[in-house]
Amino acid sequence: MATTEFGGRGPRRVLLRQALGGDEFVVIAEPVDDVADANELAERLLVALAEPIQCDGVLLSVSASIGMSMSDDFTRPASERSGGTELLRDADLAVYKAKSEGRSRIELCDDDLRAEMFERADLEKALHQALEENEFILYYQPIIKPPVGSLHGLEALIRWNRPAKGMVPPDDFIPFAERSDLIVLIDQWVLGAVARQIRSWNAAGEYLDVPISINISGRHLGSADFIDDVMSPLLDAGIDPQRIIIEITESALLEDLDGAASKLQTLRSYGIRTAIDDFGTGYTSLAHLKSLPIDILKIDRSFTNDESASSLVQLIIDTGHLLGATITAEGIETHRQADTLTSMGSDDLQGYLYGKPCPAQDLHIPAQLA
């Protein structure tokens, strides 16, 4: 393991050591007076690393994320020192945070970060347990067709019945799960649960022709097993793929547009329809939309709630129609919103006005809702 002197202003001695991870390095600096001193050194390191280098005739430049931790351990008598283990662990926590916040960031490990990271580790363990112990539940929210208000779909929305904590909404755990393959396991659970629910509705003669929308994360869409993960539960439960709509957010689709387009096309060839969720919040251009096999555009709640956005909403509706998609307006809470969106040409409406998401057994939807 190479140890390099890395002199400069500030700390008297700065050592650069290659760490255990292939692309991770440890910088040991001492003495460091305060956080500002450490920050200044970290900033100099980022600048030095960003300097382009010639490699086989190619100009390369790298960026880095820096996690810092500070200790006065080494000023103590040898018998009272705890060793560098905690210092390294804290730096590791800080670099993890720096990486998750974007490129070229510097983070210091403090008590708040330590608490946050331990909480995350707890959450990860608890979510794995939730999968094993079947603690997730699917709620369903109606999607209706105006002006009559007949039921035109149900969106499956996950909830976590966490022991000793109660019902946890997806915004409290889905974004966290999306940072790892945990989200793939959760999506797989949802796909299986929806297939079982449709089978049981079919057996009871309920909601026979109602399509069910399922939210899929971008990470799952990008995985090699995605098509199989969607199709297998349907085949196992004998469900017609035409009953399924896969919803993917605009931002997730943009991560790998070509890959997404080809996978959605494959699903479509099996009869599954696709929807772009939260449309309007990302940066999809017309060219993107044209290249995606999309059946439904779901206009995000932030637009349907904002009267000043009406010309934009009209543009989205007209563009969607031109491309052969239908439009669902989300977040409809008032009759006034419903009337406005209907007169603008929205094909379907979804929102608290027609029903909040609820467990399958609590769905008592009359043939006409409005």
Binding positions for Ca ion, rule: CB under 5 A: 215, 247, 277-278, 330
Residues 6+ apart with CB under 8 A from 195: 233, 234, 236, 237, 239
Q: Which CB, 27 or 214, lies closer to Ca ion?
A: 214
Return the residue of 110, 333, 340, 345 that touches ligand C2E, per CB under 6 A. 333
User: DSSP letters along 190-243, please?
Assistant: HHHHHHHHHHHHHHHT-STT--EEEE--HHHHTSTTHHHHHHHHHHHHT--GGG
User: DSSP letters along 52-114, please?
Assistant: -EEETTEEE-----EEE----GGGS-GGG---SHHHHHHHHHHHHHHHHT-TT-EEE--HHHH
Binding of ligand C2E by 143 (CB under 6 A): no
Binding of ligand C2E by 277 (CB under 6 A): yes
Could you tell me how far CA 362 lies from the centroid of its own chain? 28
Binding of ligand C2E by 132 (CB under 6 A): no
Which residues from 238-257 bind ligand C2E, rule CB under 6 A? none
Return the residue of 35, 208, 352, 359 that touches ligand C2E, per CB under 6 A. 352
Q: How far is the CB of 138 from Ca ion (least distance, A)?
A: 13
Q: Which CB, 69 or 350, lies closer to Ca ion?
A: 350
Binding of ligand C2E by 187 (CB under 6 A): yes
Binding of ligand C2E by 197 (CB under 6 A): no
Return the residue of 65, 217, 274, 284 that touches ligand C2E, per CB under 6 A. 217
Choose one: 121-129, 288-296, 319-327, 347-355; the region binding ligand C2E (CB under 6 A): 347-355
Could you tell me how far CA 227 lies from the centroid of its own chain? 19
User: DSSP letters along 256-310, please?
Assistant: THHHHHHHHHHHHHTT-EEEEEEETSS---HHHHHHS--SEEEE-HHHHT-GGGH
State both tokens at 49: 């690393």
Choose one: 42-50, 153-161, 238-246, 251-259; the region binding ligand C2E (CB under 6 A): 153-161
Measured from the Cβ of residue 164, the count of other Cβ atoms closer than 10 Å reads 4
Binding of ligand C2E by 190 (CB under 6 A): yes
Biggest CA-to-CA distance, the chain:
80
Which residues from 157-176 bind ligand C2E, rule CB under 6 A? 157-158, 169-171, 174
CA distance 101 to 295: 34
Return the residue of 87, 107, 357, 369 that touches ligand C2E, per CB under 6 A. 357
CB 370 within 8 A of CB 144: yes
Residue whose tokens read 């008590």: 111
Binding of ligand C2E by 149 (CB under 6 A): no
Choose one: 43-51, 99-107, 110-118, 351-359; the region binding ligand C2E (CB under 6 A): 351-359
Contact positions vs ligand C2E (CB under 6 A): 141, 156-158, 169-171, 174, 187, 190, 215-217, 277-278, 301, 331-333, 350-352, 357
